Structure 1
């Protein structure tokens, strides 16, 4: 069961970014990511705790699933928010609109959050990541729709990273 969980964590890490760059339906990458992460959670819950090499493999795959597998999650959250009429005019992919560089910042943010959770420094690590991100983005947050984009993107990214890292952390014990 643990091997199946690792396979699905790997799928969650690799397939969504590969699908995001193709001209495929926008819903496909987040659907694959969410399905793969859910399957990893089911298999992780049913399996035995990992030991030895499995611990390292789990940590690498969980951080990978958090960092790259979450690429399609903030755009999904933006599309849902636009339908609700709350996200302003943030059209285009992550990294467009008033806050540039969101794709790379999001990958780094999710990797740092996942690493903090996996090393049992979750609350402190997440607080440091959020503080650094908030201070770095502070001058840009005065744009009309920047604060909504910042909040929605950050929450979507952090929730995804917590889910991926939580699965990995659960496989340790």
Structure 2
């Protein structure tokens, strides 16, 4: 690897990790403004944790679940991907995202795409307990992760094209 190749690789890693933050933040802002973004109140036809309830107009019965009053409500309702609960639950997400983009771009640059799967698996397993309890955090996690992955793979693929 000559000096120009090393410069392309270093620049790709910096752009993937650093410039990915505003890209992901922008995508999350767009998602929170969409018509299907979460809110503090459950959607019609669902309980506080998302199970479908009875719809007399459609002639359907409620599934066999515990009453909504017996289910946790405060953390279960979604406040959307930019809401305060989602952001509090996924604390450290900015740094995790930077490291994620570095690892993904590095894997692609090294020609080891399996590394992307490892990054996604570790990230998902590490966040599973928080995601299970908070739909807004889950939404933020999925949107942010996908935006981050698309950005870092695109930057690394462009750098690989320059290197060939």
TM-score computed with the length of structure 1 as normaliser: 0.65
* RMSD of equivalent CA atoms: 1.8
Deviation (angstroms), 1:73: 1.4
Q: Distance in 1 between matches of 2:90 and 2:129?
A: 10
The DSSP-based 3-state class of the residue aligned with 2:126 is helix
Deviation (angstroms), 1:106: 0.3
Q: Which runs of 5+ in 1 are unaligned?
A: 1-50
Aligned counterpart in structure 1 of residue 93 of structure 2, from 102, 112, 117? 102
Q: Indicate the residue corresponding to 2:107 in structure 1.
A: 116
1:83 aligns with 2:74: no
Q: Indicate the residue corresponding to 2:120 in structure 1.
A: 130
More helix by share: 1
Aligned counterpart in structure 1 of residue 150 of structure 2, from 148, 155, 159? 159
- After superposition, the C-alpha distances for 1:75-96 in whole angstroms (9 at most, x for unaligned) are 1111111221334233379x93
Q: Distance in 2 between matches of 1:98 and 1:90?
A: 11
Task: Report the number of matched residues.
Answer: 121
Residue 92 to residue 121, structure 1, CA distance change in 2 (3 Å): same
Q: Distance in 2 between matches of 1:58 and 1:162?
A: 15
Q: Which runs of 5+ in 2 are unaligned?
A: 39-79
Q: Distance in 2 between matches of 1:92 and 1:71?
A: 18
Bigger Rg, which one? 2
TM-score computed with the length of structure 2 as normaliser: 0.69
Aligned counterpart in structure 1 of residue 10 of structure 2, from 45, 53, 60? 60
Q: Distance in 1 between matches of 2:162 and 2:82?
A: 38
Deviation (angstroms), 1:129: 0.3
